[in-house]
Amino acid sequence: RFNCFNNIFQNRIINNILNWSASVLFVIAAIMLIYAAIRFLTSGGSEESVKTAKSALLYAIIGIAVGVIALAIEPFIEGIFR
């Protein structure tokens, strides 16, 4: 038995989950970018600090990419449940 209301409700829940998770990822990525910048500025030429800053920058970029993919995949997931 097909219930249109249930289908709309499922789409709304999926949309909310994806938007929330992408928002959290973007906030964490922004914090990581700031952290990496501070590590670079305060490294004083220390190889250890520069290495830590580079890895934090890499993780921030990966986080931004995951957030963008989560937002881009949303229409495809909605299409599956329609």
Which residue is it, tokens 């993919």?
A: 69
Q: Over the stretch 34-49, which tens digit does the pLDDT of each residue have?
A: 999 999 999 888 899 8
CA-to-CA distance for 68 and 22, rounded, in angstroms? 7
Which residue is it, tokens 């914090």?
A: 31
Q: How confident is the model at residue 22 (pLDDT cuts 50, 70, 90)?
A: confident
Q: Which two tokens stand for residue 40?
A: 């670079």
Q: Helix crossing, 47-81 with 4-41: angle to 10°?
A: 170
Mean pLDDT of the chain: 82
Give residue 4's pLDDT. Answer: 54
